Structure 1
Amino acid sequence: MAGGNKSENHHMNILKPIASFLAVFALLWASSCSSSNEKSTTNQAEEAAEETQTIPSDKTILFFGNSLTAGYGIEKDDAFPGLIQQRLDSLGLDYRVINGGLSGETTAGGLNRLDWFLEDEPYIFVLELGGNDGLRGIELSETKSNLEKIIDKVRTKYPSTKIILAGMQIPPNMGPEYTNEFQTIYPELAKEKNITLIPFLLEGVAGDPELNLPDGIHPTEEGHQIVFETVWPFIEKEI
């Protein structure tokens, strides 16, 4: 029995260091796992923060119009919406300008394609349509109705969007009565809908051969610079 006790004690003495080693190893392994988990959590948080920072925060300014907005005959960046973007960038302001101009567009055409541009909320919506209606002699009541529907659609979907209406005038080809009534559409709508009005988009440009292309309708680069100066104060008030 005494010999058995010695043998057992001998085995116990051998096992104790092993048990101690295993205990220490277990602690180190647990600590390593904990540290790894902490690092993983930290990395995930940092990655999430980085992803959040990369989400665009720019507010959108949508110019919705015809060839005047599109910059017919010149580079798009030189049209007045592009010049607005350049001014915003130079001031370090996080606004993104979208040029929604389409040459030949009427108010009816604009109403039909509006939904595509309203997938994202615009901070400012600048409506420049109606000139082609006037040149084609479209019924004034139809032009006004379409403009009103465009304004209502934007306001219904995005109540906080700031709407600016660009006033337009046309040559007297259709007669003085039609021409005068056409011009009154814009101030009337602006008052009825309580929106901002640019009295005449082409102020200082219309009718000047030096500032228009040979067609006498579309501004040159110099002409768009003047249009930009006309439009900018209205944008500046809203940003």
Structure 2
Amino acid sequence: MKLNYKWIWALLLSTTILGCSQADTSNQTEAAQETTTATADKAKKETIKTILFFGNSLTAGYGLEPSQAFPALIQERIDSLDLPYRVVNAGVSGETTAGGKSRIDWLLKKPVDVFVLELGANDGLRGIDPESTYNNLKTIMEKVRDKNPEVQIILAGMQLPPSMGQKYTKEFSEVYTRLAKEQNVHLIPFLLEGVGGDPKLNQADGIHPTTEGQKILANNVWNVLEKVVSAPVNP
């Protein structure tokens, strides 16, 4: 039997071309998938927004590891829910509202989408005029809004022990409810709710929460913050 070499050659050539074509298609598909994944990752990264916790030693987690402070616990919760937010802890021990007013400009060099303001406790413990605390907190919020009019502001309310005097403690507490109403911001009624005054949940100084106390603070914050971060994120 005489072999038709031309036919065999044509068959081999067509098979090779087909194989190359399939390989090229496969490579193109993989490349397209990689590009799509990279694009999605980039888009996700670009949509991640910043939550700035601006406060004193309560925010900083005085006496504890940074990972035990309530802002870090909030980040863990956000990550577990796969929400597009990153937390920045800008707490400084001993900070007053006057100190915060001076410091905030530097922090606003980067975009802030959610601003949690936790200041005033040190003012109260030092007996500073509540009107001064009010004005400082108001100025801080105005500066934040000047940088981003769309920012969501959460104000952490604070209360003082009765030892500071009934009149003073009342005026001090009203600073937060007054600001929340006038500035139309979210209010955490009392950051230390369930922790303040409980020896088991505070360190030896009786002021700064333990790790268990910080967990309760995180829950107090989350009760208000959840509504903000769960809302649809604008690109």
For Structure 1 versus Structure 2, the TM-score category normalised by the shorter chain is 0.7 to 0.9
1:12-51 aligned at under 5 Å gives the runs: none
Letter in 2 for 1:84: I
1:4-153 aligned at under 5 Å gives the runs: 52=42, 56-153=46-143
Q: Give the direction of change, closer, same or farther, for the CA distance of 1:238–1:50 in structure 2 (3 Å limit).
A: closer
1:64–1:101: 8 Å Cα contact kept in structure 2?
Answer: yes
- The C-alpha deviation readout for 1:182-225, integer Å capped at 9, x for no partner, is 01110001001111110000000000000000111100000011
In structure 2, what is the equivalent of residue 201 of structure 1?
Answer: 191
1:72–1:103: 8 Å Cα contact kept in structure 2?
Answer: yes
- Counterpart-to-counterpart distance in 2, 1:54 and 1:200: 34
In structure 2, what is the equivalent of residue 20 of structure 1?
Answer: none
- The C-alpha deviation readout for 1:29-87, integer Å capped at 9, x for no partner, is xxxxxxxxxxxxx9xxx6x9699569553210000000000000111111110000000
- Counterpart-to-counterpart distance in 1, 2:93 and 2:69: 13
1:66–1:103: 8 Å Cα contact kept in structure 2?
Answer: yes
Runs of 4+ residues deviating >2 angstroms: 48-57
- Counterpart-to-counterpart distance in 2, 1:147 and 1:87: 28
In structure 1, what is the equivalent of residue 170 of structure 2?
Answer: 180
Q: Give the direction of change, closer, same or farther, for the CA distance of 1:168–1:50 in structure 2 (3 Å limit).
A: closer
Q: Give the direction of change, closer, same or farther, for the CA distance of 1:238–1:78 in structure 2 (3 Å limit).
A: same
Shift in Å, 1:92: 1.3
- Counterpart-to-counterpart distance in 1, 2:98 and 2:159: 18
Matched residue SS, 1:93:
coil
Percentage identity across aligned positions?
A: 59
Query: Which has the larger Rg?
Result: 1
Unaligned runs of 5+ in 2: 1-30, 230-235
In structure 2, what is the equivalent of residue 233 of structure 1?
Answer: 223
TM-score (norm 1): 0.77
Letter in 2 for 1:126: V
Q: Give the direction of change, closer, same or farther, for the CA distance of 1:223–1:51 in structure 2 (3 Å limit).
A: closer
In structure 1, what is the equivalent of residue 144 of structure 2?
Answer: 154
Shift in Å, 1:94: 2.0
2:202 to 197, 207, 212: 212
Q: Give the direction of change, closer, same or farther, for the CA distance of 1:136–1:195 in structure 2 (3 Å limit).
A: same
- Counterpart-to-counterpart distance in 1, 2:207 and 2:144: 29
Shift in Å, 1:142: 0.8
- The C-alpha deviation readout for 1:154-175, integer Å capped at 9, x for no partner, is 1122100000000001123332
How many residue pairs end up in the alignment?
A: 197
